[in-house]
Amino acid sequence: MSIAFEQVSYSYTPLSKRQKKKGETAKYALKNVSFTLEDGEFLAIAGHTGSGKSTLTQHLNGLVHPTEGRVLWNGLDMADKKVATQARGDIGLVFQYPEHQLFAASVYEDVAFGPRNLGCSEDEVELRVQSALEAVDLDYEKLRDVSPFELSGGQQRRVAFAGVLAMKPTTLVLDEPVAGLDPASRADFLKLIGSFHESGMTVVMVSHNMNDIALLADRVMVLNEGEIVWLGSPDEVFMHFDELRAIGLGVPHAQRFAKEMRELGFPLEEKLYSPESLADAIAARLKSGEQS
């Protein structure tokens, strides 16, 4: 189900009537944000610290509500508590370092918490727990009765993911999902996240890593001081090399290297490259030069 932001602004400290009369100005974490999250897309959100990324994600499932404007889920205003409650069953939010939120005595009980809150029968709860653990590549029979605190850090994060997946969301919102992981674990988690999207799930991922964004996203939103600076395909957004750097962001490594090659006089087409496609383009250009 689509989610639409309509001119959303948010202040953590809204002004009182008295302050407004005095002409004081509120400090906004989000300013006039409008966009629609389409079913089945992968939207990446980038921005430096304090740009409004986390505040925006909390609006996505009604944890907080706009100071001004509206957030609509399936055409319904999430400022309505009943609508927000329904939306949370459909929109799974995974915070940064989700393993810090594990609390139950066993993996089973931790993953079962969400489905039980939804009112599922115990048979349905068991099916959902098993399916969710399998979705994150954890052995249900081997780990169901193990304390999550006895697991490795990577396994704990997978259990936390499973707890969200067990609620069967159609939309998954991830706030820096691979923060703090070693390179091998990062690669595994990114592959896992990609598989969620490939299965038809709508994914929103907050990340400061432009290589990850270029690899996975259909669209990229760049925030700066609470406002949308760019919203478009990775190709469109990462063409703004200098502007991104000016607001404290970079571009994918391959894109930066291609730009440096062009500045040195090496003719490369201006487009978004992966490391593999860039290597192929350089090889093809060198081969063409040899033949001419």
* Burial of 244 (C-beta count, 10 Å sphere; 0-12/13-18/19+): buried
Q: State the sign of the Cα–Cα–Cα–Cα dihedral 157, 180, 234, 284.
A: negative
Where b means 16+ CB within 10 Å and e means fewer, 180-189 reads ebeeebbebb
Helix, strand, coil content of the chain in percent (nearest 5): 45, 20, 35
What confidence score (pLDDT) does residue 124 get? 96
What confidence score (pLDDT) does residue 285 get? 87
What confidence score (pLDDT) does residue 188 get? 92
Q: What is the spatial distance between Cα 129 and Cα 117, in angstroms, rounded to a whole number?
A: 13
Instruction: Place 18 in a pLDDT band, splitting at 50, 70 and 90.
Output: low
Q: What is the spatial distance between Cα 57 and Cα 59, in angstroms, rounded to a whole number?
A: 5
Mean pLDDT of 142-156: 94
What confidence score (pLDDT) does residue 80 get? 93
What confidence score (pLDDT) does residue 275 get? 87
pTM comes to 0.88
The SS3 of residue 113 is helix
Taking only the tens place, the pLDDT of each residue in 123-144 is 999 999 999 999 999 999 999 9
Taking only the tens place, the pLDDT of each residue in 51-108 is 999 999 999 988 899 999 999 999 999 999 999 988 988 999 998 888 888 999 999 9
Q: What is the spatial distance between Cα 283 and Cα 101, in angstroms, rounded to a whole number?
A: 48
**Of 237, 172, 157, 160, residue with least CA distance to 204:** 172
- Position of tokens 């990609």? 194
- Position of tokens 């709508």? 202
The yes-or-no verdict on residue 199 having pLDDT over 70 is yes
Mean pLDDT of 4-18: 83
Q: What is the spatial distance between Cα 189 and Cα 160, in angstroms, rounded to a whole number?
A: 13
How many angstroms separate the Cα of 64 from the Cα of each of 7, 143, 278?
15, 35, 42
What confidence score (pLDDT) does residue 15 get? 61
Q: What is the spatial distance between Cα 204 and Cα 54, in angstroms, rounded to a whole number?
A: 12
Instruction: Place 271 in a pLDDT band, splitting at 50, 70 and 90.
Output: confident
What confidence score (pLDDT) does residue 250 get? 86
What confidence score (pLDDT) does residue 220 get? 97
What is the secondary structure of 68-93 as a DSSP string?
EEEEEETTEETTSHHHHHHHHHHEEE
Residues in contact with 84: Cβ distance below 8 Å, sequence separation at least 6, in sequence order: 61, 62, 65, 78
Instruction: Place 49 in a pLDDT band, splitting at 50, 70 and 90.
Output: confident
